[in-house]
Structure 1
Amino acid sequence: MEQAAQAPEWAAALEATWAGVLMRQSAVAYPVANLVHLLGLTLLVGPILLFDLRVLGVGRRLVGLEGLSQFVTPFAVAGAILAIASGPLLFLADAKALSTSPTMIAKLALVALGLLNALAFRRAYGDRLVGWDSAPAARGRAQAAASIVIWFTVAGLGRMIAYL
């Protein structure tokens, strides 16, 4: 692969670690890490999507925003932990190519943006969601819409890494 030949030395060093070798040579290590990563992404994005849709007004009469937030947040946090823990293992298997992949770089940038957006939302509005059942803040709705776009793009880019 041409990108791998131009990879930085640190990426080659990561691939050569015992963990990088294990991820490439074990019949189960990479598939298990991949499944954990997928589970993490599902647990992260599913609750975020439900919450964001609710902020945008979907299901307003069915569930209160504050209660939904309290219910889905632990799932999203667990998903983030799983995805963040398993992602580097997947990276180690092909660090040289991934370190120079524009798709991978874009995915990582959007993950950071998505997490920052979620943290900014939580910080700005986390304790003021009660009144949002009838009238959420315009900025909060914009953040929710951006969040949906960001996380679906992250998921799409994650799948496209193998092909681009």
Structure 2
Amino acid sequence: MAEFLAGIEQLAFVRGLKASFVAYPIVNALHIMAIGALLTSVMLMDLRVCGAFRALPYAAFVALLRRTALGAFAGALVTGSLLFSVKASTYAAMPIFLAKMALIMLAGLNFLAFMRLGRATGGDVPAGGAASVLAVFSMLLWTSVLFAGRFIGFL
């Protein structure tokens, strides 16, 4: 595994990213933007599931935010992978990085559970019950992912 991670760090585009005065900060800024869009859309969607913003139509509001969250997640995945590649060996050995990856996996499983619940209820998940529990769990998980990510930069 160590050789694989060291190999990632030696890829030409990774060395270029690491050496560039402009590229790395741009990727870092794009990652922060993607995370901001992801957390904002997830929080608003989860709050709506919990019963907030009742004046807004549930299905349209949640569908828009879900698409936004998935696009933002894709952006965060790409930019996060690029940031990881610069110090792959270092990050892979950090318990907080591993915790962040585990939290993202749990958030993904929570999303799948919510989608399954939505299919079981015909797509219009009412506030309360299991949907609200999953929404609150989602907000806690994604906030924890954010904090774990910030700790990576300071350890």
TM-score w.r.t. the length of structure 2 is 0.90
State which of 39, 43, 47 in structure 1 corresponds to 2:41: 47
AA at the equivalent of 1:154: V
Unpaired stretches in structure 1, ≥5 consecutive residues: 1-6
Preserved contact between residue 19 and residue 89 of structure 1 (Cα < 8 Å): no
Matched, 1:99 2:92: yes
Give the number of aligned pairs. Answer: 154
Paired with 1:56 and 1:98, the residues of 2 have a C-alpha distance of: 36
The alpha carbon displacement at 1:131 in A equals 6.0
Match of 1:9 in 2: 3
The alpha carbon displacement at 1:97 in A equals 0.7
Match of 2:27 in 1: 33
Preserved contact between residue 49 and residue 125 of structure 2 (Cα < 8 Å): no
Paired with 1:153 and 1:8, the residues of 2 have a C-alpha distance of: 28
Preserved contact between residue 23 and residue 92 of structure 1 (Cα < 8 Å): no
Preserved contact between residue 12 and residue 96 of structure 1 (Cα < 8 Å): yes
The alpha carbon displacement at 1:156 in A equals 0.9
TM-score w.r.t. the length of structure 1 is 0.85
Match of 2:137 in 1: 146
The alpha carbon displacement at 1:119 in A equals 2.5
Q: Percent of counterpart pairs with the same letter?
A: 29
AA at the equivalent of 1:153: S
Pairing 1:1-164 to 2, within 5 Å after superposition: 8-60=2-54, 62-125=55-118, 128-130=122-124, 132=126, 136-164=127-155
Preserved contact between residue 65 and residue 129 of structure 1 (Cα < 8 Å): no
Paired with 2:57 and 2:123, the residues of 1 have a C-alpha distance of: 9
The alpha carbon displacement at 1:29 in A equals 1.6
Paired with 1:39 and 1:119, the residues of 2 have a C-alpha distance of: 24
Preserved contact between residue 37 and residue 83 of structure 1 (Cα < 8 Å): yes
1:73-124 deviation line (CA, Å, top 9, x unaligned): 2211110110111111000111111010111111111112112211221232
